Amino acid sequence: MSNLLYLIAYKPFNVLTQFSGEKPEETLQVLDYDFPKDVYPVGRLDKDSEGLLLLTNDKRLNHKLLDPKFKHEREYWAQVEKIPVQRALEQLNKGVKLKDGLTLPAKARILDTEPDLPPRDPPIRFRANIPTAWLSLTLTEGRNRQVRRMTAAVGFPTLRLIRWRMENLFLAEMQPGQVRVLTDIERTELLKRLKLK
């Protein structure tokens, strides 16, 4: 058990959640860390999404977080086009009908202030005549491009998407491309939440 490694990374925009590919600058090789060969990302973030990525060589943890029957919380911050109306938030909270069926209820709310995040490179396309808002969406399932599909389905397309939290792990003060080892407290709490300790 002592050789198990638990890391979190801030995946930058325009980077694939993999270590190999034809363009190394578009893979996790851009992260400033010497990863052991047996450490892999748990789940994925799309190339055009940013944020918290958990990496480990703990196969039990990998299984718990990827098997849909073990629902775990992931909180996303989505910058959306226009200011969502109450009805849209209620739809997100109840579940949204997508092509692959009804989503599980989410916890959706508008963030009171724009989050203090590192700028995206390149920035989103700015249109002065269309306001934007930041939503917090907490999901317990992980369908392909789910947040983007949900916000679009209720009429507020996502412009920028960041995974802010996974269970008890937060991006906090991290910068794009940064990697760090989980603290003992974070690791213990995560394993406890997932009933692995």
| Closest to 74 in 3D by CA, of 106, 28, 112, 49 | 106
Given a contact cutoff of 8 angstroms between Cβ atoms, the answer to whether 154 and 96 are in contact is yes
| Identity of residue 145 | R
Q: Is 184 a catalytic residue?
A: no
Tokens found for residue 110: 């508008």
Given a contact cutoff of 8 angstroms between Cβ atoms, the answer to whether 159 and 126 are in contact is no
| Closest to 194 in 3D by CA, of 66, 39, 43 | 66
Which residue in the list 34, 46, 58, 67 is annotated as catalytic?
46
Show which residues are catalytic: 46
